[in-house]
């Protein structure tokens, strides 16, 4: 049903093209609004930056930003806790929600964001996103196209990341700096890392100092955290221990 939108969404080269196709997809699926929120890696945990694309009521957008509703938003909260789709009409059935969650949802209804379905999205390098399809009608069956919209949401997310990353600076670290941070994250001292990499300890410290500066970190631990969030520190698959659970019917 949505094949033509999948092609347009995946081939978009600009945010303008992406938004145009997302507008059309939302309408085709029976929704009047959409909201795509992105949180990119290599940011401060204490003050993350949310990038929002939406066609929601501008007054709601300003109200949300001005009142800092992100900290109380149950959609955002749940999307960070789970990967399954979030149906707005049953949010109050969750045991744990941020203080003020009901207030945010009630306020959203005043601006025409009455019912919807949201998809939690995660990228390969620490990116996080939420795509919501929204309607002004509570009786709308928001789950009717759930499987198709989940696929579309991932296509939208991948395309948005591609467009944004094309504009952003590439990885600021060298391979050696990443390697030194990796072993530091494994609990190794500079002396240990020097032995592992067959380098002088002063060379290891030099690379770690550069990595800290490039990442805007305050120390090694902070640099490891930032690099990890950005997906720069990848598991060494050649050392992976594989544990198989064999089906009794195999």
For residue 215, what pLDDT is reported?
87
Residues in CB range of 50: below 8 A, 6 or more apart: 37, 38, 39, 70
For residue 170, what pLDDT is reported?
63
For residue 250, what pLDDT is reported?
62
Tell the CATH topology of 3-167: Beta-Lactamase (3.30.450)
DSSP category for residue 124:
T
Output the CATH code of domain 175-233.
Answer: 1.10.10.10
Helix runs in the chain, H state only: 3-11, 15-28, 58-66, 74-79, 101-110, 146-167, 175-185, 190-197, 201-215, 220-229
The whole-model pTM stands at: 0.76
Per-residue pLDDT of the chain (250 residues; tens, 9 = 90+): 788 899 999 999 999 999 999 999 999 999 999 999 998 765 555 556 778 899 999 999 999 999 999 999 999 999 999 999 999 999 989 989 999 999 999 999 999 999 999 999 998 877 899 999 999 998 889 999 999 999 999 999 999 999 887 655 567 889 999 999 999 999 999 999 999 999 999 999 999 999 999 888 889 998 888 888 777 887 766 666 666 677 676 6
Secondary structure (3-state) at 180 = helix
Contact 35, 56 (CB under 8 A): yes
Domain ranges of the chain: 3-167, 175-233
For residue 42, what pLDDT is reported?
56
For residue 39, what pLDDT is reported?
86
């Amino acid at each position: 049903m949505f094949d033509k939108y999948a092609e347009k969404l995946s081939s978009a080269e600009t945010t303008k093209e992406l938004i145009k196709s997302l507008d059309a997809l939302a309408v085709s699926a029976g929704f009047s609004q959409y909201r795509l929120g992105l949180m990119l890696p290599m940011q401060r945990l204490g003050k993350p930056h949310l990038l929002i694309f939406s066609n929601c009521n501008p007054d709601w957008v300003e109200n949300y930003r001005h009142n800092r509703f992100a900290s109380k938003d149950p959609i955002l909260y749940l999307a960070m806790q789970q990967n399954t789709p979030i149906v707005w009409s049953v949010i109050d059935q969750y045991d744990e929600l941020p203080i003020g969650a009901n207030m945010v949802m009630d306020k959203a209804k005043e601006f025409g964001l009455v019912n919807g379905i949201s998809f939690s999205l995660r990228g390969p390098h620490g990116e996080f996103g939420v795509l919501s399809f929204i309607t002004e009608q509570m009786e709308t069956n928001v789950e009717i196209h759930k499987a198709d919209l989940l696929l579309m949401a991932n296509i939208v997310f991948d395309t948005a990341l591609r467009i944004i990353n094309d504009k952003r600076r590439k990885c600021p670290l060298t391979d050696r700096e990443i390697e030194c941070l990796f072993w530091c994250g494994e609990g190794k001292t500079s002396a240990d890392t020097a032995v592992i990499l067959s380098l002088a300890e002063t060379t290891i410290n030099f690379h770690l100092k550069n990595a800290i500066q490039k990442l805007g970190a305050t120390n090694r631990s902070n640099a490891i955290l930032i690099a990890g969030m950005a997906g720069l520190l990848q598991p060494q698959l050649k050392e992976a221990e594989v544990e198989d659970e064999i089906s009794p019917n195999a």
